[in-house]
Amino acid sequence: MNTSISCLTLTLVTCALSVSVAAAAQPVSSYPIRPIRLIVPFGPGAGVDVVGRIVGQKLTESLGQTIVIDNRSGAGGTLGASIAAKATPDGYTLVMGSVGSLGTSKGLYKDLPYDPIKDFAPITLAARAPSGLLVHAALPIKTTSELIAYAKTNPGKLNAASAGNGSPSHLAWEMLKSMTGIRIVHVPYKGPAQALQAVASGEAQMQIQSLLSAMPHIQAGRMRLIATTGAMRSSLFPDTPTVSEAAPRFEVYTWFGMLAPAGTPSSIIQKLNANIVAVLKQSDVRKYLVNQGAEVVGNKPGEFAKFIEQEAAKWTKAIKESGARVG
């Protein structure tokens, strides 16, 4: 009986290994042979969704297989990232990573179900963008200096929307509060789209949010951009100062990159990298992203991996200093 059990165990292990080897041995020239699922860990309309959809549409054309967008929002992007981390590493499940799911998550969650560094195979950083410091159009504040001065004179009278507790938009406010000594009321919403709508409608007064998703509200005059959060002024808004001009060393970017589960064959990673970088070089894609306030990147897998490590270290430090915790 023991011999039978041993034989059965050996057979199951052999079958599992055969499947794994077969996936790894798939000729890169034949990949992909079926549709690819692209998990977007936020809802439609978020910056990461905007980038994921335009890249996914173009990849469908270049790879000859449909890229199926699978929006899995929740827990600051960690729900969708967790699903991707546990997926079969065969190239048929990809994920759009962002500062929330990979940069801030390790410092925020005590029981994070994945490791942002070890559980993914980075493909490329598609784009990064400074966020915008946005205020409702009726709020009579037009500069960061005015905001800081008003908040110091009227502590607790200004409220700031965010995409939720522990979201990058929340943590950006915590960084600004720490650097300037201001007191504002944080109002968390269930995602970036809801927070944007709150400021656009006047339900909330201000927000720090990706320009990619905020642009329609800015163009419609529902909210006003008073500053950008990059190290230098945005080429799209050269007359708009940076937050750091009033609060030195303040620098925040939202970013969006493509990854696969760890263990995905390197040949597939390289093919995806080549195709995505080619997509990002297309004039219509580049023009669209630049017009939305983004900087197109399209780097190598190793460069993206190093970038994620640096972002995780930066945000973990900021989270520790602020005392923020969501789980």
Residue with the two structure tokens 């041995």: 25
CATH 3.40.190.150 assigned to 32-129+253-322: yes
C-alpha–C-alpha distance, residues 114 and 326, integer Å: 16
The Cα 167–Cα 172 span in angstroms is 9
Which pLDDT belongs to residue 168?
84
Residues of the chain short of pLDDT 50, as ranges, are 1-24
**E strand map for the chain:** 36-40, 67-71, 93-98, 120-136, 159-162, 185-188, 206-210, 223-228, 253-261, 295-296
Q: Where in the chain is the domain with CATH 3.40.190.10?
A: 130-245
Q: pTM for the whole thing?
A: 0.78
All CATH 3.40.190.150 domain ranges of the chain, comma separated, are: 32-129+253-322
pLDDT of residue 214: 86
pLDDT at 63: 97
Quickly name the fold that domain 130-245 has.
Answer: D-Maltodextrin-Binding Protein; domain 2 (3.40.190)
pLDDT at 213 (0 to 100): 80
Please report the pLDDT score of residue 25 as a whole number.
53
